């Protein structure tokens, strides 16, 4: 007979070990989820792209048109990588809407959003519910994230009218962040911020 007889204490130890292993796995999973979706340090960040010509962004938009970054030379372009499930992305969205609305009539700056690990259906629903009337790319966007070195969303790049990347923002962005940076770089007063 090769039957193994377990004593009551051994079964309890095995269950305790399994419960502890499961608990550690849940905590580790939660920690990874928090780190993956946290906005970390918010503000200007380093990037090897600063001072370089912006990597190409071209592709179909969610409204059926096409977007090509090169067609927008002569204006500031805010390149925003986001996800519809990212909390800091959701928080920053009204700020991008306010920025876009303030610059739409002037025509000196615009926003383009690039979905990061998201679906076109989610993106369309998000913009329908939260506003925003600018170009949004949601298909085949992984190559853009790689070209810009996006590690986590939200990440936002400011491209000068010359096509040069001037700034990278990590974490959620505000309209004031964008206005202040454009004013600093162009030597002009910030648009619509009362100063």
For residue range 120-140, list pLDDT tens digits in order: 999 999 999 999 999 999 998
Beta bridge partners of 165: 159
Q: What is the pLDDT of residues 46-56, one digit of tens each?
A: 888 999 999 99
Per-residue pLDDT of 143-165, as tens digits, reads 999 999 999 999 999 999 999 99
Alpha-carbon distance of 194 to 191, in angstroms, equals 8
- What's the N-to-C CA distance of the chain in angstroms? 89
Taking the CA of residue 106 as centre, how many other CA atoms within 13 Å lie in the half-sphere pointing to its CB? 14
Whether pLDDT at 38 is above 50: no
pLDDT tens digits for range 65-109: 999 999 999 999 999 999 999 999 999 999 999 999 999 989 999
Q: What is the mean pLDDT of the chain?
A: 85
Name the token pair of 46. Answer: 């380093």
pLDDT tens digits, residue range 164-195?
999 999 999 999 999 999 999 998 887 766 54
The fold of the 43-186 domain, in CATH, is Glutaredoxin (3.40.30)
Q: Which of 189, 143, 169, 146 is nearest to 47 (CA)?
A: 169
Q: What residue segments make up the domains of the chain, in order of their start?
A: 1-37, 43-186
């Amino acid at each position: 007979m090769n039957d193994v007889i377990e004593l009551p204490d051994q079964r309890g130890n095995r269950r305790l070990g399994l419960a502890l292993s499961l608990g550690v796995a849940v905590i580790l999973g939660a920690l990874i989820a928090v780190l993956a979706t946290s906005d970390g340090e918010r503000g200007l960040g380093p990037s090897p792209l600063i001072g370089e010509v912006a990597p190409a962004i071209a592709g179909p938009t969610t409204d059926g048109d096409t977007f090509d970054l090169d067609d927008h030379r002569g204006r500031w372009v805010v390149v925003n990588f986001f996800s519809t499930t990212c909390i800091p992305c959701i928080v920053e969205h009204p700020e991008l809407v306010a920025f876009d609305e303030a610059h739409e009539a002037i025509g000196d700056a615009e926003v383009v959003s690039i979905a990061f690990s998201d679906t076109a259906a989610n993106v369309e629903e998000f913009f329908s519910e939260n506003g925003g009337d600018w170009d949004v790319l949601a298909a085949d966007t992984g190559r853009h994230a790689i070209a810009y070195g996006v590690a986590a969303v939200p990440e936002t790049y400011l491209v000068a009218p010359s096509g040069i990347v001037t700034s990278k923002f990590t974490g959620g962005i505000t309209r004031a962040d964008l206005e202040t940076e454009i004013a600093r770089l162009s030597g002009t007063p910030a648009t619509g911020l009362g100063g």
